[in-house]
């Protein structure tokens, strides 16, 4: 154990999460799970994605879809399309 590392952090994983960590560790060049997790924590990337525009687009597309459906229902009911 490295004498410079005197703090210990403990956390729990379920079986599926542990298997995932072990698979990822084996694909890396790390010699231990501890080294792998340390490397991911210290140099891994975390992405924060702003989805507000996508949420608004989804709402607008839903409104458009609803309008098209109303036009289709009216056209089928009247057997013609009117302005």
Same domain, 51 and 81: yes
Same domain, 62 and 74: yes
Percent share of the chain, pLDDT over 90: 35
Question: What pLDDT is attached to residue 28?
Answer: 84
- 25 is written with which tokens? 């560790």
Question: What pLDDT is attached to residue 13?
Answer: 94
Give 44 or 55, the one with higher predicted confidence. Answer: 55
Query: How many domains is the chain partitioned into structurally?
Result: 2
Task: Compute the distance between CA of residue 48 and CA of residue 54 in angstroms, rounded to an integer.
Answer: 14
Q: Which domain holds residue 31?
A: 9-46
Element (H, E) at 17: helix 15-27
Same domain, 39 and 52: no
Note the pLDDT tens digit of each residue in 35-54: 888 888 888 766 778 899 99
Same domain, 51 and 78: yes
């Amino acid at each position: 154990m490295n004498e410079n590392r005197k703090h210990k952090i403990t956390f729990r994983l379920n079986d599926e999460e542990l298997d995932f960590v072990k698979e990822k560790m084996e694909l890396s060049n790390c010699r231990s799970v501890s080294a792998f997790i340390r490397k991911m924590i210290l140099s891994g990337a975390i992405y924060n994605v702003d989805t507000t525009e996508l949420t608004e687009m989804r709402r607008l597309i839903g409104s458009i879809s609803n309008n098209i459906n109303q036009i289709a229902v009216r056209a089928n009911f009247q057997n013609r399309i009117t302005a």
